[in-house]
Amino acid sequence: MDLLATAFVTPFANMWDNPQFVLEVVIGGLLSGVMYSLVALGFVLIYKASGVFNFAQGTMVLFAALTFVGAIERGLPIWGAFIIAVAVMVLLAVAIERLMLRPLVNQEQIILFMGTIGLAFFLDGFGQLVWGSDVHPLDIGIPKAPLIIGGVLVNEFDLVAAVVAGSLVVALALLFQHTAVGRALRAVADDHQAAQSVGIPLRSIWIIVWSIAGVVGLVAGIMWGSNLGVQFSLSLVALKALPVLILGGFTSVPGAIVGGLIVGVGEKLAEVFWGPAFGGAIEDWFAYALALVFLLFRPQGLFGERIIERV
């Protein structure tokens, strides 16, 4: 009886009593969700265009951020560091295409997935080898002052993050829908062989996609890094992006955004209102449980494509 009350009554009662607080938690969750979305975005891009589930996305975020921070620490101006980081990510994309994607091109998805796990390990070790494993604080001048909007406490930083994410999504949507490259990307995502047979060069497409994903990862890494400092735990964020993808659908860019927001809000609400009853740290597993429940009712996610198996 007591347990039932704690799980199903008290949290809602608390929420009812403090609507303003709930709103703040929700907004805080939305904005942390934006961060997840940024990482998930990279996943979706790669999955859409190369059919590969890139487990190393989080590590790529970390790697990109490390390069950026490293360049800044060596005295480069922000834009210079950005260009260097982008160049590094493009080089990385070329290397990945050459050394991993090309040899594994006809293998099943699960093999490629495991390849990306290997990639994650490799990048992890390599990044820390080159840049060290300390936390690198990152400050590129994003304002962090708290604001009061409509009586609710919001952080300027989070607003900037939301704007950045939004612009990225719009840019990507434009890319996919309105450019020839975008059309080629969509063709490759649909059917590799068919795309090849109309002359689309798979290899170049893959390099482009992984580079874009790398740049998205860089932006995500800069945002996360400005918030938390650039450190190893950033790559663990990748694991959190998985529930986001499930909620949103693996093949949907808007899905990544919406999924990220839902996970962000859900996590925060769960932690604040249900957490105390269970000793806290519910955030560890809540997102996955949410994804699991979602999977049972709508396996393709909110915006994903339903896969129909024909025999």
Partner 1 sequence: MLYREVGELKASYAADQAIFPIRQDRWLMLAALAAAYLVVPVAGSEYWLLTIMIPFLVFALAALGLNLLTGYAGQVSLGTGGFMAVGAFATYKLTTALPGLNIVLALLLAGTITALVGVLFGFPSLRIKGFYLAVATLAAQFFLIWMFNKFPWFYNYSASGVISAPPRAVFGRFYVTGAEADPRAKYLFVLTVVILLALAAKGLVRGRVGRAWMAIRDMDVAAEIIGIRPLRTKLLAFALSSFYCGIAGAMWAFIHTSAVEASAFEIDRSFEILFMIIIGGLGSILGSFLGAAFIVLLPIFLDNAPRLAALEIPVNLVTNLQSMIFGALIIFFLIVEPNGLARLWAIGKEKLRLWPFPH
Name the site residues for partner 1 (rule: CB under 8 A): 53, 99-100, 103-104, 107, 109-111, 113-115, 117-126, 128-129, 133, 239, 242-243, 246, 250, 278-279, 281-282, 284-285, 288-289, 291-292, 295-296, 299, 309, 311
Spatial contact of 123 and 54, defined as CB atoms under 8 Å apart: no
Nearer to partner 1, 93 or 242 (CB): 242
Q: How far is the CB of 270 from partner 1 (least distance, A)?
A: 13
| DSSP state for residue 136 in the 8-state scheme | B
Nearer to partner 1, 17 or 309 (CB): 309
Q: How far is the CB of 113 from partner 1 (least distance, A)?
A: 7
Q: How far is the CB of 73 from partner 1 (least distance, A)?
A: 19
Spatial contact of 266 and 287, defined as CB atoms under 8 Å apart: yes
Nearer to partner 1, 7 or 292 (CB): 292
Spatial contact of 229 and 25, defined as CB atoms under 8 Å apart: no
One DSSP character per residue, 179-228 reads SHHHHHHHHHHH-HHHHHHTT--HHHHHHHHHHHHHHHHHHHHHHHHHHH
Nearer to partner 1, 114 or 160 (CB): 114
Q: How far is the CB of 103 from partner 1 (least distance, A)?
A: 4
Q: How far is the CB of 158 from partner 1 (least distance, A)?
A: 26
Nearer to partner 1, 106 or 193 (CB): 106
> Mapping DSSP to helix (H, G, I), strand (E, B) and coil, where does residue 292 land?
helix
Q: How far is the CB of 266 from partner 1 (least distance, A)?
A: 13
State how far the Cα of 123 lies from the Cα of 190, in Å rounded to an integer.
29
Closest CA to 257 of 216, 298, 308: 216
Nearer to partner 1, 105 or 160 (CB): 105
Q: How far is the CB of 206 from partner 1 (least distance, A)?
A: 16
Apex CA 242: angle with CA 238 and CA 248, to 5°?
A: 130
Nearer to partner 1, 226 or 235 (CB): 235
Phi, psi of 46 (to 5 degrees): -65, -40
Residues 6+ away with beta carbon under 8 Å from 18: none
| DSSP state for residue 133 in the 8-state scheme | S
Spatial contact of 299 and 250, defined as CB atoms under 8 Å apart: no
Nearer to partner 1, 7 or 289 (CB): 289
Q: Is 77 left (phi over 0), alpha (psi -120 to 50) or beta?
A: beta
Q: How far is the CB of 26 from partner 1 (least distance, A)?
A: 23
